[in-house]
Structure 1
Amino acid sequence: MTTNSNKKNIRVAIAGLGAIGKSLSTHLASGAIPGVELTAVSAKDHQKAQEFVKTLAHPVKVLKIEDLEPEADVVVECAPANLLGDIITPFLKNQKRAIVLSVGAILFRPDLVELAKETGGVIMVPTGALIGLDAMVAAAEGNIHSVRMITRKPPKGLEGAPHLIEHHISVANLTEPLKIFTGNAKEAAKGFPANLNVVVALALAGIGPEKTLLEIWADPTVVRNTHTITVDSDSAKFTMTMENIPSENPRTGRIVAQSVVAMLRKLTSHFQVGT
């Protein structure tokens, strides 16, 4: 009888140590996923990163972005969207996997998708805050007539978005909901790069960023990031509402880190549930 006792662990690097990166690092370093090992992290402030890794269950390397690839089989991108190419390109060139959280940036970097096709590398987008993504992927095998989404966020989670700055919209001291955006997913990704990865994932799984329509509300009456999505297709019509608890970063839900953990767990699993 043979065993897999000599099977090598999947080595993971995490690029970015914000709320999501720290949560993932702590989880992976604790050995929570059998067969998956955290080997390296990267962050803008190396001194703070060094202090953080001292709190982990086992030591990992703190490296520059360009030095991550030799240390890992998979990179998890948890960084500002403008760093996406720098982080994942070395992994794609070497036929490795890249788990991308700044999925909105993919819309403006089709060259990265082409690179993955050319080399055999893989770009992976976790479900994140988007419940029902499996249903959307299945519906896309047929004909989707329309996809609409309404997002409501506490104003603090929207502050500093390029769309607000460009259009001189203030969300400070709101006492009632304010609609701050109407448009499609591609426009939303440009105007709210730190906020709307959920709608981009929805668009990429469904009918595309130009046809996926969206409203965004700054809403002082909500404490959770709330998304309501309505899909009409030839196989099903469904509506889903998510109320995601924000992480330490009000722009991002806690469930995002858990979604990445679930994706990494699936890489080593011999029994998989879901599309």
Structure 2
Amino acid sequence: MANLSRTSEHKLRVAIAGLGPIGKGAAEALDAGMDGLVLAAVSAQNPAKHHNWLAGLKTPPAVLPIEQLSGVADIVIECAPAKLVRSIVAPFVSQAKTAIVLSAGALLENDDLIELAKQNGGQIVVPTGALIGLDAVTAAAVGEIHSVRMVTRKPVRGLAGAPYLVENNIDIESIKEPLKIFDGTAREAAKGFPANLNVAVALSLAGIGPDRTRLEVWADPALTRNVHRVEVESDSARFSMSIENIPSENPKTGRITALSVIALLRKQFAPLRVGT
């Protein structure tokens, strides 16, 4: 992360935009205590909905509108609807601060945020999230990656309502067997499944980009977990990896995604860091 220096007297202040399973998980971990970091503020679409939960924290954070978060925090964790990514990220990176972005797909439509961060000394961090092996993909990309293909299989509930399904009149509610509903690029998937396939965009950003990273999406009524399999061909290695994620209370999000954010935060001042 950018500018993550702190003295023993000063902890870096963290803000969280969005209080779904990911945001709440990160908030609870920070509230329990994390070296060098403190939960300073949160933002939510309906703060009253979370009143009791917030009151139960040891040190309840300030509850602020998104536009005020950058004034009270050094790092923001974005776990909000994709349409809000710009309003959350831009104020932080333009002030040489750090934005941890979960809605990776939105970066493809707001790629100027990366240049904004570069010009101002800020940083955008995309966690590993619900995927596996991004370290290996990043390493292979230092050499030459020939191809990256990902196959995602999800329970019907985890895909219901996706714009791609609505626009193409694809009904998956009553299917009895696995149905391939998409075959295209990560960029196309980000538009068609903005709440479902941030993992594909993260994979593409680690490797050969959103236009060369290929993706299949299957709806499977027999599944209870989100399943991702990735195959990579490069000049340094050929490897494949798969993961089966247990959904959180939000069927579109795996439990491990929140844990990935917590692991990323804990790395910042850890005496031992494992992985690139």
Shorter-chain TM band: over 0.9
SS for the counterpart of 1:26 is helix
Q: Give the aligned residue type for 1:29.
A: D
Q: Which runs of 5+ in 1 are unaligned?
A: none
CA RMSD in angstroms, aligned pairs only: 1.2
User: CA offsets, 1:100-136, max 9 Å, x none?
Assistant: 0000000110111111011011000001112110000
Tell me how far apart the structure 2 counterparts of residues 94 and 181 of structure 1 sit (CA, whole Å).
Answer: 39
Matched residue, 2:253:
252
Tell me how far apart the structure 2 counterparts of residues 82 and 153 of structure 1 sit (CA, whole Å).
Answer: 23
Q: Structure 2 vs 1, CA of residues 154 and 37 (structure 1 numbering), >3 Å: closer, same or farther?
A: same
Matched residue, 1:143:
144
Matched residue, 2:233:
232
Matched residue, 2:21:
19
Q: Is the 8 A contact 1:131 1:242 kept in 2?
A: yes
Matched residue, 2:169:
168
Q: Is the 8 A contact 1:14 1:21 kept in 2?
A: yes
Q: Give the aligned residue type for 1:9.
A: K
SS for the counterpart of 2:40 is strand
SS for the counterpart of 2:221 is coil
Q: Map residues 90-169 of structure 1 onto 2, 5 A cutoff.
A: 90-169=91-170
Q: CA deviation at 1:248?
A: 0.7
Q: Is the 8 A contact 1:42 1:49 kept in 2?
A: no
Q: Give the aligned residue type for 1:142.
A: G
User: CA offsets, 1:63-85, max 9 Å, x none?
Assistant: 10011112111000000000000
1:47 aligns with 2:48: yes
Matched residue, 2:57:
56
Tell me how far apart the structure 2 counterparts of residues 116 and 184 of structure 1 sit (CA, whole Å).
Answer: 26
Matched residue, 1:220:
221
Tell me how far apart the structure 1 counterparts of residues 150 and 205 of structure 2 sit (CA, whole Å).
Answer: 14
Q: Which runs of 5+ in 2 are unaligned?
A: 1-5
Tell me how far apart the structure 1 counterparts of residues 65 and 138 of structure 2 sit (CA, whole Å).
Answer: 36
Q: Map residues 57-72 of structure 1 onto 2, 5 A cutoff.
A: 57-72=58-73
Q: Is the 8 A contact 1:50 1:62 kept in 2?
A: no
Matched residue, 1:9:
11
Q: Structure 2 vs 1, CA of residues 5 and 234 (structure 1 numbering), >3 Å: closer, same or farther?
A: closer
Q: Give the aligned residue type for 2:260.
A: S
Q: Is the 8 A contact 1:42 1:62 kept in 2?
A: yes
Tell me how far apart the structure 2 counterparts of residues 200 and 209 of structure 1 sit (CA, whole Å).
Answer: 6
Q: CA deviation at 1:30?
A: 1.4
Tell me how far apart the structure 1 counterparts of residues 183 and 58 of structure 2 sit (CA, whole Å).
Answer: 45
Taking only the aligned residue pairs, the percentage that are identical comes to 58
TM-score (normalizing by structure 2): 0.96
Tell me how far apart the structure 2 counterparts of residues 64 and 120 of structure 1 sit (CA, whole Å).
Answer: 24
Matched residue, 2:30:
28
Tell me how far apart the structure 1 counterparts of residues 228 and 164 of structure 2 sit (CA, whole Å).
Answer: 19
Q: Is the 8 A contact 1:49 1:62 kept in 2?
A: no
SS for the counterpart of 2:135 is helix
After TM superposition, which residue ranges in structure 1, 4 or more long, deviate above 4 angstroms?
Answer: none
Tell me how far apart the structure 2 counterparts of residues 207 and 155 of structure 1 sit (CA, whole Å).
Answer: 29
Q: CA deviation at 1:153?
A: 0.2
User: CA offsets, 1:217-248, max 9 Å, x none?
Assistant: 00011111000110000100001011011111
1:190 aligns with 2:185: no
Q: CA deviation at 1:5?
A: 7.3
Tell me how far apart the structure 2 counterparts of residues 48 and 176 of structure 1 sit (CA, whole Å).
Answer: 38
Tell me how far apart the structure 2 counterparts of residues 178 and 66 of structure 1 sit (CA, whole Å).
Answer: 42
Q: CA deviation at 1:18?
A: 1.0
Q: Is the 8 A contact 1:15 1:41 kept in 2?
A: yes
